[in-house]
Each structure stands twice: as structure tokens, then as C-alpha cells.
Structure 1
Amino acid sequence: MKALVLAGGTGSRLRPFTHTRAKQLLPIANRPVVHYALQAIADAGIEEVGVVVGGHGDAIRRAVGEGSAFGLRITYLHQPRPLGLAHAVTVARDFLGDDDFLLYLGDNHLEDGVTGFVRRATAERDAGRLLLTPVPDPTAFGVAEVDGEGIVRQLEEKPERPRSDLALVGVYAFTPAVHEAVRAISPSGRGELEITDAVQWMIDRGWRVRAETTTRPWRDTGSVDDLLEANRSVLDRMEGRVDGKVDPHSVLVGRVSIAEGAVVRGSRIVGPVVVGAGAVITDSHVGPYTAIGENCRIQDSAIEFSVLLQGASVEGAARIERSLIGREAVVAAAPRPLQAHRLIIGDHSKVQLIP
């Protein structure tokens, strides 16, 4: 089995960050989101991976390389425009050949990986296999209707009246049969070739598509809130380690990971927290579930449940929480406005003004 990782797309819900980088490169616990996808694929025993890239393809290549860091062989496939998941499958047709394959959205984060899913897809070789999860608002997702034996009967893309609460997670397994389906479908109303339409085409022709349901944590990291929650989930499983310098006036509480080259002075850090190489934290409080990227600067500030990208600077901020701060961004306390005093003072009075 091969794998196809989708790392294109515009990331519109994460603008302005995605104006300058792919959403799959935004960090969770100081590692790009796509690294977690590739590691999950490698853990599942797959070795050959195609990565579909778009306008930020060069940055993806620099961040991922040829795959040896994950034990993978990676082939990059260019998708000129994001015209749908099924279109990405057509772009990868020559790479996929006649092999079964795992389709994995590169901005997904699954806490438990895909090892079991891949194993079952290989053992029970249906035309398609979908990973589903119950969600409180199915209207925002592709939704599957599944019978009592786990066979998918119908798919709908963002339905107004969902038939179930089971949303597509963004992990699929296919046999080569899917190539006929993606050739047969037409673009949807939004001008894209939808993978849900391709799967429904197979179902309508009597090909068996099976579903698996998971209730384990899953995030598509397509929004700031989802990215912060994925960061929290990863930090919850992190081990503490101090390779950088922490002065005797600082206090570390709980699981705190400080990379070599980072410096902490006169500060209190309450884990789980990860601090990247070259970061400097001075006279500050860093609270739980915070990831501080390489070469960041935090001074006279309090911050928690946030992600700071490489080179960000925070100074004089009384309290920051649930925030995503971009590369080389600067957050600083505003200067106090000049205060004017209006006085009506009687004869022989004495007034003292406090500066």
C-alpha cells in the first residue's frame, strides 16, 4: 500500500498566516502539522508516499525533504490549483499506479495515528474505507450514513439536514477502483471534484465501502482554535526535558521541555510547555499548553495556552492567552497616554499631582 498526503489548499480559515506559508507547516508543539501525518503513515508500515503540493510546494519540500527522517520515500506531485480531493487523486494517478493507497489530509492530526486503520484496510480489501467521527454540528462536514454492519450507504457534503452525526475525518483507504470513479464524476457546485461524489459513485454501482468510527481526539487544524487544541493534545503527552539554560531565579513546574540554546531568566514556567532553540524568556510567566518557537523573545509578560511561531517577540504584555502569534511578529505594551489635569483651584490652595 502507498500513501497520498494532500498538502496543497489555500487555508482560508487560517489567514493571514497562510498568505506566507502552507497551513500544513504551522506548528504543533514546535513541529509542522504535516510531520505528524508522515510519522503516522510511517508507523503504519507504509514506505512510499506521494505528497500533493500547491503554491507553497517549495516550502513543503524544505520542511519534509526526501522522507528519510521518517523512514519514507517521498515523491512530490504538483497540483496547479486546489480543485478538490478527487482532483488530487487524478494528479497522482501515475504515482499510484495499480496499488491500494491511503489518502490522508496533511493538516489532520489524529492522536492515535492510522496503524489499525491501515491494517484492517489491508486485511478486508473493500473498494473504499472511511474513517468517521461523531461531531456536534455535522452541517460543517462531509457526512456518512452507515448501516448496522458498517457499510456506507450514502454520503453528503455539508448537508443542511444531516442523516447522521458521523463526519468524514479526512483519512481514506482505496483500491485502484477509485480511479474509475474520479474519472466519472463532474465538478460540484463549487467547481471541485469531490471525493464524496467519487465514493458515492462507487456505492451506487454496488461496490462495497466500509466505515470505521473513532471517538479519539481528532483535529483538522484548519482554524486557530483547532490548532491550539491539537497543540494542547500533543503537549499533554510530552515528556519534560531541559537542555537549555535556566537560571536559579527561575521555577519550572510540571513537564517543561527547553531546547538546547534556549535561556530562561527570572521566570516561572508551568507545563506542559515546549520552548524552542534560541528562545529567551525573561521575568515572565509562561502557563500551560504553550509552544514557544525558535528564537522567540518573551520579557515582562504572562502568556498561556498559545503558540508563538519562530522569532516572535512579546514584551510588557500583562496577559495573553489562546493566541497564535506569527513569525517575527512583535507584541509590546502601548505607551501610556499623556494625562492632562483640568484644575479649578481657589486662592491659597496646595495641590500635589501624582505622576
Structure 2
Amino acid sequence: MLAGGRGTRLRPLTHTSAKQLVPVANRPVLFYGLDAICEAGITDVGIVIGDTGNEVRAAVGDGSRFGLDVTYIPQQAPLGLAHCVLIAKDFLGDDDFIVYLGDNFLIGGISNLLQEFRADGYTAQLLLSKVAEPQLYGVAELGRDGRIIRLQEKPALPRSDLAIVGVYAFSAAIHEAVRAIEPSARGELEITDAVQWLIDQGHRVHSHIVTGYWKDTGRLQDILECNRILLEKVEADLAGVVAGRSEIDGRVVVHPDAVIEDSVLRGPIVIGAGSKVVRSYVGPFTSIADDCVIEDAEIEYSIVLGGSTIQGVPRIEYSLIGRDVEVTRAVHAPNAHRLMVGDHSKVQLRI
């Protein structure tokens, strides 16, 4: 399981937090991958960690609550996916193994991939999915029998619309491949180069097409879409305090320690422990994490992380709000916007 990297597409949030721990439906993306690994019958997991390793360790622990035995493998710098395989050699030994990118969200699990890989004796098998913009991904070109004949890394002119999903099944032969390749132009050992080396050496490298839902959660729109997909599946559970003239419609989940007062909630929504929603509107496909305050505000199709306050703001939508953030209305000021915004941020203002 790969949980390093810098998460540049989700900055500034990922300057201080692991991108794999950004929550969808109030649960870190990484946890869904660990669930899928356990469901496939795998119990020993090595998690490659980087600068945010302490946060990942704190969140996952020894893995026992997922039914797993977790070993942490530090990577000193994000030097590529093939480099992750290289530094994990002592943990992996000569066993077959799965590589799973921790920021990938996959519905349907990996059991079918693993069963097919074991049954057919491939050297490597890659999970693939059809995408609308293949130039943004690693792309696989297939032969007629489903064998992978060529890989391209973010090509300007893609040879297919089959993106490489961040799940790979490998035999021990991949260790020779990662030692044989050279760093790419960006200074990383690319897993696509290692797999291409296997192909060029005549190894059997096969495809497995995703039949469920897959999304790389590296961008805001992808995180919000995954949140929407998961919230579509929730069942109403109003376990918290609902007071005053509140109106609740649809599939709304309120934690037992949460409070809703004089507010309108339109599901699907999840509201975490210790959070308060007061005189506010919370619209569909919104996840509010633990210990948040939404007061005299409106929010819809958004994710709010733990400890944040939104107060006196007329409308927020399509937004990802980090931990311990304050979003308030300037009341004694001219008609102007007052901002303190970090590096690599995106702000849209209605003028």
C-alpha cells in the first residue's frame, strides 16, 4: 500500500496532511483500500510512507482493526512507484504481491483480480479502466487476447482510452525489472517503465478491466464525486439531538454526539461526532466531520474536515474545507473581500 507522495494537486490541504487521509463520507480514502485488501484475503500489508508518515501511522496503527498486520516502510523522498517496490524487497521477499495506491477509490474490490492472477500464472496483471481523458494517466495498449503490449505515461496522443488504475499484481520477477530501469526525466523510477521492461523481456503481462467504480482522488472534483457516490449508499440514521424547528429530508446520518438546531438538512448527508448545525442549511452530498460548527450558514455538495467553523456565510458549494478552518462573514467592513490564502490555493469569488 503506497501512502507517500506530496499530493500537489490538493494543495494547500496536503502541505500539512496526507492526501490518502482526506475523508470521503467522513472516512479516509486509505481506509477503503485497506478494507479491499482484507476482503481479498490478504493479511500482511507493507505501507510505504513519506513526509506525512506519522499521520498515517497514527490513523492506521498496527492494522488490527482492519484485520491486517501492518509494517511501515519509510521512503526518504517520492522517487517513484517502482522505487517503492525496490525499497520494499526485504518485506516482500519472493512472494507474489499487490501494489495498491492509497489515494485510489475503488468500488468492487480486488478479489477478482487476485483470483485471476493466481489462476492464470501471469508475471504481472494491471487493473485498467476506461476514462474520458487518457492523456492524464498512464495508458495501456492491449492485444486481442487482453495481453498488455505497450504502456504510455501521460501521453499527448494516447493509443487507447484504458487508464492504469493504481492496483497491480506482481510476481517476484518485478524485482529484476525495477533494478534494470533508469530514472525518468522527472527523476523517478516509473512503474510503467518496469512493467514495460517485463513486456519487452517476454513476460506475460495481462489486463483486468474494472467492472465497478474507480477514481483517482488527486483532484478536488474527484474527491467530491467519490463523496457523492458513497453518500448515495447511506441509510438515514438520526442518532443525534435534533432540536427546535428543524426540517430533515432524505438519507441523513447524524452521529449520536452531534446537535442539529433550527436547521434544514437535505440528504444524503453525514454529520460527525461533536458537530453542531445551528440555524443553517446543509444540502445534498455534504460530509461534515467531527467537532465542526455550522452556524447561520448554507453549504451543499462539499466536504468539511474536523474542527472547522463556518459562520454567517450565505452560500458555500463544491468545496473542500480543511481541518480547524474558520470561514466567517466580515460584518464591519466595506464591500470588499478579506483573504488569507496559502500557496497553491484556488479561490472563486462572486463579483
Normalised to the residue count of structure 1, the TM-score between the two structures is 0.92
What residue number does 2:221 align with? 225
What residue number does 1:352 align with? none
What residue number does 2:110 align with? 114
What residue number does 2:172 align with? 176
**Matched letter for residue 203 of structure 1:** I
2:69 to 73, 86, 107: 73
2:193 to 197, 205, 230: 197
Q: Is the 8 A contact 1:134 1:215 kept in 2?
A: no
**Matched letter for residue 232 of structure 2:** D
What residue number does 2:144 align with? 148
Corresponding residue SS for 1:317: coil
Q: Is the 8 A contact 1:181 1:202 kept in 2?
A: yes
Corresponding residue SS for 1:98: coil
Corresponding residue SS for 1:193: coil
Corresponding residue SS for 2:202: coil
What residue number does 2:280 align with? 284
Q: Is 1:14 aligned with 2:10? A: yes
Number of residue pairs matched? 335
Stretch of structure 1 that moved more, 216-225 or 281-290: 216-225
Indicate the RMSD between aligned Cα atoms, in angstroms.
Answer: 1.1
Stretch of structure 1 that moved more, 176-185 or 110-119: 110-119
What residue number does 2:84 align with? 88
What residue number does 1:50 align with? 46
Q: Is the 8 A contact 1:105 1:171 kept in 2?
A: yes
What residue number does 1:314 align with? 310
Stretch of structure 1 that moved more, 148-157 or 327-336: 327-336
Q: CA shift at 1:183, angstroms?
A: 0.5
CA distance in 2: counterparts of 1:264 and 1:115, whole angstroms: 41
CA distance in 2: counterparts of 1:90 and 1:330, whole angstroms: 43
Output one character per residue of 1:171-228: Cα deviation in whole Å (capped at 9) or x when no partner.
Answer: 1000001001001000011100000000000000110100011253211110111111
Corresponding residue SS for 1:168: strand
Corresponding residue SS for 1:225: helix
What residue number does 1:132 align with? 128
What residue number does 2:101 align with? 105
CA distance in 2: counterparts of 1:258 and 1:122, whole angstroms: 43
**Matched letter for residue 24 of structure 2:** I
**Matched letter for residue 302 of structure 2:** S
**Matched letter for residue 99 of structure 1:** D
Q: Is the 8 A contact 2:108 2:211 kept in 1?
A: no
Output one character per residue of 1:83-126: Cα deviation in whole Å (capped at 9) or x when no partner.
Answer: 00000001100000111001000000002121211222222220
Q: CA shift at 1:248, angstroms?
A: 4.6
Q: CA shift at 1:148, angstroms?
A: 1.5
What is the percent sequence identity of the aligned residues? 52
Q: Is 1:62 aligned with 2:58? A: yes
Q: CA shift at 1:144, angstroms?
A: 0.4
**Matched letter for residue 4 of structure 2:** G
CA distance in 1: counterparts of 2:55 and 2:150, whole angstroms: 38
**Matched letter for residue 252 of structure 2:** V
Q: Which has the larger radius of gyration?
A: 1
CA distance in 2: counterparts of 1:259 and 1:119, whole angstroms: 38
Q: Is the 8 A contact 2:183 2:190 kept in 1?
A: yes
CA distance in 2: counterparts of 1:269 and 1:332, whole angstroms: 20
What residue number does 1:346 align with? none
**Matched letter for residue 60 of structure 1:** V
CA distance in 2: counterparts of 1:208 and 1:87, whole angstroms: 22
What residue number does 2:247 align with? 251
Output one character per residue of 1:54-99: Cα deviation in whole Å (capped at 9) or x when no partner.
Answer: 0111110000010111100000000000000000001100000111
Q: CA shift at 1:334, angstroms?
A: 2.0
Q: CA shift at 1:281, angstroms?
A: 0.2
Normalised to the residue count of structure 2, the TM-score between the two structures is 0.93
Q: Is 1:211 aligned with 2:200? A: no
**Matched letter for residue 319 of structure 2:** S
Q: Is 1:261 aligned with 2:257? A: yes
Corresponding residue SS for 1:123: helix
Q: Is 1:157 aligned with 2:153? A: yes
Q: Is the 8 A contact 2:247 2:264 kept in 1?
A: yes
What residue number does 1:347 align with? none
**Matched letter for residue 75 of structure 2:** Q
CA distance in 1: counterparts of 2:134 and 2:226, whole angstroms: 20
**Matched letter for residue 25 of structure 2:** A
Output one character per residue of 1:304-343: Cα deviation in whole Å (capped at 9) or x when no partner.
Answer: 100000011111111110001111111112226469xxxx
Structure 1: 5+ residue stretches without partners: 340-355
**Matched letter for residue 120 of structure 1:** E
CA distance in 2: counterparts of 1:315 and 1:233, whole angstroms: 27
